[in-house]
Amino acid sequence: MNKGNKLYEGKAKIIYETKDKNLVIQHFKDDATAFNNLKKAKVEGKGVLNNRISEHILTNLSQCGVKTHLVKRLNMREQLIKKAEIFPIEFIVRNIATGSLTKRLGIPDGTQLENPLLEYCYKKDELSDPLISKEHIYTFGWASKKEIEIIDNMTRRINDLLTGMFRAIGIKLVDFKLEYGKAWNKDTEMREIVLADEISPDTCRLWDAKTEKKLDKDRFRKDLGNIIQAYQEVARRLGIMPEETNISEVNFGKTIPIKFKKK
């Protein structure tokens, strides 16, 4: 599948067009960002690992009947995906209180939530992705009631499946962010809601079940070090590692700071 023009460049990924108007290529970069782009670095090998981890997770979800944008992985850094019109909403699921929830509401860090908590954020970098309610979504037409009902059900099911998948490899799925979009289904000749973006240690909080060691992007956000080693550990436990792994050659573990501005 030949890569066409760049359609969009985000913080961690680039989208390229293809000859097929319904398909695009998603390229995983090594760039890491946090705190609304204030902290930036290149983490060598991260894109390769997230490409593999996300492919593995979305493929497993798809086998369980969850509709996703993934068509196939093309190479070390790229996936062929369905072109989707993305809802401007980040769908957050929390099983254990940490991160912005604890700061916002003063809930003790690490509190196990009785039921998964679903939150919605408006996807707008300039506003730092503010927390919104369903009423905001309906008022501003970001998604319909019917669409949110479908997405909430998909999100709960994904949480159940992922919680089990990670529990089996000794990892607690603390919280994560999902994105959805509407993509063309060539079999039904209709647009349908699909899980989009990626699911990886960039978008999830993953704690070792025994030690609660962080195996996710918080290692970057909190300057804990060994970012790539943590992502590799997740990939190893999932039973995947990058193809043609030349870990020594790729110089895994190197973090090159680009910019760190204090507010």
| Part of the chain binding ligand 5GP (CB under 6 A), chosen from 21-29, 170-178, 180-188, 245-253 | 170-178
Structure tokens at 181: 């979009």
- If one counts every other C-beta atom within 10 angstroms of the C-beta of residue 207, the result is 21
E strands, the chain, where?
Answer: 6-9, 13-17, 23-28, 31-34, 39-43, 70-73, 78-82, 84-86, 89-96, 112-122, 131-132, 171-185, 190-196, 204-208, 255-260
* Pairwise CA distance, residues 219 & 226, whole Å: 7
Q: Which is nearer to ligand 5GP, 78 or 198 (CB)?
A: 198
Restricted to residues 128-167, the positions that interact with ligand 5GP (CB under 6 A) are 129
Strand bridging mode 89-96 / 70-73: unpaired
Site string (36-55) toward ligand 5GP, x via CB under 6 A: --------------------
Q: Which is nearer to ligand 5GP, 78 or 175 (CB)?
A: 175
In whole angstroms, give the CA distance from residue 30 to residue 48.
Answer: 8
Q: Tell me which stretch binds ligand 5GP (CB under 6 A): 58-66, 97-105, 135-143, 239-247.
A: 97-105
Query: Residue 217, interface with ligand 5GP (CB under 6 A)?
Result: yes
From 90, 148, 151, 194, residue interacting with ligand 5GP (rule: CB under 6 A): 90
Considering only residues 192 through 211, tell me which ones interact with ligand 5GP, judged by CB under 6 A.
202-205
